[in-house]
Structures are given as structure tokens and as C-alpha cells.
Amino acid sequence: MEAPLFLLTLFLISLINPISAVDFIFNGFDDSPSPSSRLSLFGIAKIESKILTLTNQTSFSTGRALYSQIIPTKDPVTSSVLPFSTSFIFTMAPSKNTLSGHGIVFLFAPTTGINGTSSAQHLGLFNLTNNGNPNNHVFGVEFDVFANQEFNDIDANHVGIDVNSLSSVYSNTSGFWSDGDGNGNRVFKPLKLNDGRNYQVWIDYRDFVINVTIQVAGEIRPKIPLLSKSLNLSGVLEDEMFVGFTAATGRLVQSHMILAWSFSNSNFSLGDSLITTGLPSFVIPKESIVKSKWFVSVLVLICFLVVSLIGLVAFVVVRKRLERERKRALMEDWEMEYWPHRISYEEIESGTKGFDEKNVIGIGGNGKVYKGLLQGGVVEVAVKRISQESSDGMREFVAEISSLGRLKHRNLVSLRGWCKKDIGSFMLIYDYMDNGSLDRWIFERDDKKYTLSCEERIQILKGVASGILYLHEGWESKVLHRDIKASNVLLDRDMIPRLSDFGLARVHGHEQAIRTTRVVGTAGYLAPEVVKTGRASTQTDVFAYGILVLEVMCGRRPIEEGKKPLMDWVWGLMEKGEILRGLDPRMTTSQAIDEAERVLQLGLLCAHPDPRKRPSMRQVVQVFEGDKAEIFEAESSEDVESWMLKKMGSRGSSQEFWYGSSSHPTIEQIRLHSLSVSLSSWNSSILEGR
């Protein structure tokens, strides 16, 4: 009994719903092997890469795709409209160059094909003639991105429900209602249909109510539909209809694509099976902006500016570097050679107790001289600080380093090291000289106890002479001291004289013509020709040495107020045959009286106004050493010199000594001439120098 009942039930079910159950789902569309078996394409519609492309960006085109089989839309028994639920994912890829149009319609149509349709604003749904005709039997849901006033479109981005007409019965701006908070406060969020994003649409029809919902594909379906309207489709739909999509472009173009589609008239959850992930994106990348002319020109401008800036910076850097290289080249020789002698600033700073004023032992032309202790307070040094930032200070520094640094002689103050803190802050570190400068011994110490004896003075002068000789001849290039004077002669612990202050020294090749544009030296020690021409030479050093000799032996400064210049005074004494009266009265001369006279004469000769008549430093040293044999061998073109040197041992008349043989001009002539030369220059030098 049960089996027939079961069969009857089955039969009844099949009667109730014999052909009405339609379910299909497309997650991507197959172009091969036989698309016609499932989808029918019209117009320019095509399937490419699993995407149903209704239109590409061809203008005034129409594309339509229908499920290939006609489906029942009304109950064959009751003729009531069957419910349906469809969901699909579409994309409208906008045109890169122009405005985009026009739209996609999901539709039920009684026939296949695109006869009776137009492109552009007609969306491939109707044409101008049949739009609004009740005999169309067409129902559609349009996604329209163009506002046609003739169809009362609300805006250029709307969703509408069309019944036989493009003038929608209902429409709303595209978007969705947020699900809202617990209080039911919902927010409408617009969605731009043709921004290239993929959108999922749900269209449900049941009990004369149609719901249309749209959201970005992949997002959760909004609970509240965008459109939820009562709609009686009984008179619109025929018993069997074709279902599908149509789309159109006009002058405005865009690609209309369907990526996935489900349809059912029984299962309202079928849309949940659409795959919403891993779909291609048709959002136009930002490169569209990059490619715009405006952007490109701005980019070019920025690049140009950046490149210019880099170029400028590079130029400045390179120039600075070149300058530094140049400076380094200037200093490199000695910096490299004397590298081991470089002393750290910190050591010097602590050695001089932070350059304490109490440690100042002298003030030179370019900076103070400090006494300091180095190597843990064991070694006494004198630190000459050249703080001048001028290039003169720099030049002086280099001069001292490059001359004094290389010169080693027992009668020269030796350079212990140097220090460079920053540009313009240099220090020279000398051996400390316990007994200070010679001028203090001669002029400042009235105390008999400290007065130097005649022998001591002669020893000192001898030492100075050999120091100068070393400068002039002892090294591969000729070094002029240029500033020989008592205060530049320092005395060490053993009263050995040492020449210092090579700041004014210049190194000259032996053969090189010696020229200078600047008179350097100290007034009173300047040879007449230096004052006149500014030219320094070994002879001018000899002159200064001669003055030093007279100064040391006579205990008088070269120039003292209200008195004859030292040289003229001694000269006068000599002419009167009273040269020994010139000797420093404080000085004990007991045994060295002959020697003292010879040295005074030597001093006068060295300070001769005529540079040609001055002996060379070598000859001076030879006189001191009493090595006459060598003196005669020495090449002396000047008769008067050799004559004088011959006479040095046997005291002749002072006139003869001074001016040579009587065949020369008379003493008075020469004297007058020389005086005029020397006095005029002396006077001018006094005026300039003091």
C-alpha cells in the first residue's frame, strides 16, 4: 500500500514542478568547447579568459548574453509568476581616455537576439520606437552610469527596475546600506558602478516583492536591500522567458563584463556559491595619473631640479675638496716628513695648563710663546702659538716648519714638533732655552754677577756666526734668516747661543735670484740696500750680524735716542784709533782685549754700507777660527776683503783697515759717500721702523 502512495506523491510533485526547477551557476565562463550549449552570445559579446565580455571599448556597440535555454517563469498550473533568485558579479572597466558609458541590464526577454534594440542610452534593451511598449514583455534591472533626462534617470550612477521601458519604475543611487549598529542606525554608502571594481548583485523576487542588493564583490551581503519594492510581474513575463544580460556603449565607452552568475527559481542561497575571491581587477592603476602630461612635466621639472641640486652640491664638494687638496699639497711635504713630530693638542693644552697667561715667556709677531712641559712633565718646551687665521700666519707656519724643521745645528733652536688644531690654529714646539734671549743678558741685567765676560760674548758671537753660516750654506738650499738680532739669539743651559724665530726665514735655491717685495726684519738691523730695494740677501744677514756684533761688544742698542747710531759711533771711534773705547764698560776684558778689537773691526766690516765689501759668513767664521790659510784660498774677488783679512791679525791703521790701499778714493770721499748712503737709508729706516 505504501509503494503506490509513494509513487503517487512522486508523480504529484513532478506535476507541480515538472520543468520549473532551474538552477545554474557559472563561476567563470567557458569559451570552449561549446559555449552555445549554455550561453548564447549576440552583438559583440564574447567570452575571453573565463570572462563574459558583453562589450569592449568599441563605441556604439551592443552585446547580449542569454542562458541558452528558455526557462519557465510561470507555474504551468496556476500561471502565477515563479519566484527567482539570481546573483552575479559584474565589472564596468572605465575608458582611460574619455568619459565612460553606458550600462548593464539583467533582463528577462521573450526572444533571443538584439533585434529591436539600440546601443548607447538604450542600453541594448529597446530602441527609440519600442521603448515603453507594453508588448515588449521585457523586464530588467539596469546598472546605468549615464543620466538620460528622456528616461528620467536620477543620476549617472543608479540602479533601476525597468518594465518594458527604460524609464525605471524604481531607481536608487548605486550603493548599499550598512548593517548598522544595535539601534538600527544605518548609513548609506554609495558605490561607483564603473570604477573598475567587481561588484556582486543579488536580485530576489518572491511574493510580488523584488529586492536588489549590491556590494563590492567579496564583502558580506548587506542585510537591507538597496531596492525593495512590490512588483507584479504577471502581465510582463510570458510563460517562458530567456534570462541574461545586455550592455551597450555609445560615444562613451567602457567594457561591460560578467565574471560569475547564478540563477535559481528554487534555492535562494545559490548565490552564496559564487566565488568572489581571486577575481581579476579592472581598476585603472594610478599610472594613468603618472602618464598624464601634467604629471610628466612636473616629474621632469622635479627631476631637473633634483639633478641641478645634486650637480650644485657635487660642484661645491668637488671645489672644496680641490681647495683642500691644494692646501694639503702646500703642507703635505712637511706634514708627511714631520709626521712623527706631530704632538696632540691635548698634550700641549695640558702641558701649558690650558695656555695659562702665567706661562707666557714671550710675545712674537704672530702670537704668544708659552712655556710648557711635555711627556709627563719631563721635557721643557716653548710653545709658539700662531693663532692668526690669515694666510700670512699660515705662510709663516709653513715657513718655520719647512726651514727650521729640517735644519739641525747646535746653534739653532731645534723644533721639537708641531701641532695643528683647526685651520688657522697652529703651534710650534721648540726646545725650551733655559737662559732666555741674549738681549736680556746684555741690556737688562745690570747686576755685575750676570754680566757676560768678553770671552763669553765672543763665544756667543762665534756660535751665532756658525749658525748663520749653516743657514746660508749648510743645507741644500740657501736659508736667509732675515731677522738676526739679539732678542732672536737664545741661550741654552750651557750658554750655547741658538738662533730662533725662523718665521721670517725664506728658503731659496742657491742659484736663485733672491727677491722680495716686502721689507722684513727689525729696524736698526736692516742693511741700507734692504731699505732701498727691499731685497734680502746673505749680505743683508751679514749686515745684521755685524750690528749684532757691535751691540754685543759695546753693550749698546743699535739705535738709542739722543745718541749717534751705534755703527756710526763705533766707526767714528775707529777713525780716531780709539775703537776699544767702544767696548762695554761693564765687561771684563783683561785677556781678550786683542780679540775684542778684532771682533769689533769684524763687526764694522760686516756692517759695511756697501754689501760688496761685507765678508761672507764663511769668512767670518774663518776669522773666528783663525784659519787664515783657508781664507786666502777662498774666492774673494774683492781686493779690499782679502786685504782686510790679511790684516786681521796684525792691527794696521784703521783707515787702511777699512778702506784698503791708498790707490782707492780718498778716505774722506768714501766716507762722505758711504755716510750719505748709510745715513739716508738709516734715517728712513728709523723713521719707518719705529
Least distance to ligand NAG, CB of residue 20, Å: 14
Q: Which of residues 235-264 bind ligand NAG (CB under 6 A)?
A: 235
For residues 123-135, one letter each, b for 16 or more C-beta atoms within 10 angstroms of the residue's C-beta and e for the rest, the string is bbbbeeebbeeee
User: How is residue 336 written as a grid cell?
Assistant: 708627511
Q: Which stretch binds ligand NAG (CB under 6 A): 124-132, 193-201, 405-413, 555-563?
A: 124-132
Binder among 162, 204, 501, 541 for ligand NAG (CB under 6 A): 204
Q: Residue 5 CA to chain centroid, in angstroms?
A: 97
| Locus of grid cell 756684533 | 549
Least distance to ligand NAG, CB of residue 308, Å: 43
The three-class DSSP label of residue 459 is helix
**Is residue 35 within the footprint of ligand NAG (CB under 6 A)?**
no
Query: Would the annotation count 384 as a binding residue?
Result: yes
Binder among 147, 191, 216, 224 for ligand NAG (CB under 6 A): 224
Cα angle at 683 between 680 and 684, to 5 degrees?
85
Cα angle at 530 between 526 and 535, to 5 degrees?
135
> CB-wise, 263 or 571, nearer to ligand NAG?
263
Binder among 6, 11, 188, 632 for ligand NAG (CB under 6 A): 188
Q: Rounded to whole angstroms, how far apart are CA atoms 197 and 625?
A: 110
> CB-wise, 230 or 517, nearer to ligand NAG?
230
Binder among 130, 451, 487, 655 for ligand NAG (CB under 6 A): 130
User: How is residue 431 written as a grid cell?
Assistant: 726646545
**Is residue 232 within the footprint of ligand NAG (CB under 6 A)?**
yes
Q: Which of residues 625-654 bind ligand NAG (CB under 6 A)?
A: none
Q: Which stretch binds ligand NAG (CB under 6 A): 167-175, 341-349, 484-492, 558-566?
A: 167-175
Least distance to ligand NAG, CB of residue 66, Å: 11
Residue 200 DSSP symbol: E
Least distance to ligand NAG, CB of residue 25, Å: 7
Residue 483 DSSP symbol: -
Q: Which stretch binds ligand NAG (CB under 6 A): 94-102, 223-231, 402-410, 494-502?
A: 223-231
Binder among 17, 20, 95, 127 for ligand NAG (CB under 6 A): 127
Contacts 24+ apart (CB under 8 A), 653-656: 653/577, 654/574, 654/575, 654/577, 654/579, 655/575
Binder among 17, 178, 211, 435 for ligand NAG (CB under 6 A): 211
Nearest residue to ligand NAG, scored by beta-carbon proximity: 113
Phi, psi torsion values for 204, nearest 5 degrees: -120, 135
Least distance to ligand NAG, CB of residue 247, Å: 13
The three-class DSSP label of residue 484 is coil
> CB-wise, 166 or 484, nearer to ligand NAG?
166
Helix axes 293-337, 391-404, angle to 10 degrees: 40
DSSP string, 298-363: HHHHHHHHHHHHHHHHHHHHHHHHHHHHHHHHHHHHHHHHTGGGB--HHHHHHHTTTT-GGGEEEE
The rounded radius of gyration (Å) of the Cα atoms in the chain is: 58
| Locus of grid cell 695659562 | 356
Q: How many residues does the chain have?
A: 690
Q: Rounded to whole angstroms, how far apart are CA atoms 627 and 619?
A: 9
> CB-wise, 110 or 116, nearer to ligand NAG?
116
Is the peptide bond preceding residue 528 cis, with omega within 30 degrees of 0?
no
**Is residue 228 within the footprint of ligand NAG (CB under 6 A)?**
yes
**Is residue 344 within the footprint of ligand NAG (CB under 6 A)?**
no
Reduce the secondary structure of 145-157 to three states and give it as a string.
CCCCHHHCCCCCC
Q: Which stretch binds ligand NAG (CB under 6 A): 89-97, 110-118, 418-426, 496-504?
A: 110-118
Q: Rounded to whole angstroms, how far apart are CA atoms 384 and 430?
A: 8
Reduce the secondary structure of 235-260 to three states and give it as a string.
CCCCCEEEEEEEEECCCCCEEEEEEE
Binder among 59, 112, 350, 388 for ligand NAG (CB under 6 A): 112
**Is residue 57 within the footprint of ligand NAG (CB under 6 A)?**
yes
Binder among 32, 49, 97, 115 for ligand NAG (CB under 6 A): 115
Residue ranges at the known binding site: 384
Residue ranges at the known binding site for ATP: 384
Question: What is the contact surface with ligand NAG in residues (CB under 6 A)?
Answer: 44, 46, 56-58, 112-113, 115-116, 127-130, 170, 172-173, 188, 204, 206, 208-209, 211, 224-225, 228, 232, 234-235, 267, 269-270, 272-273
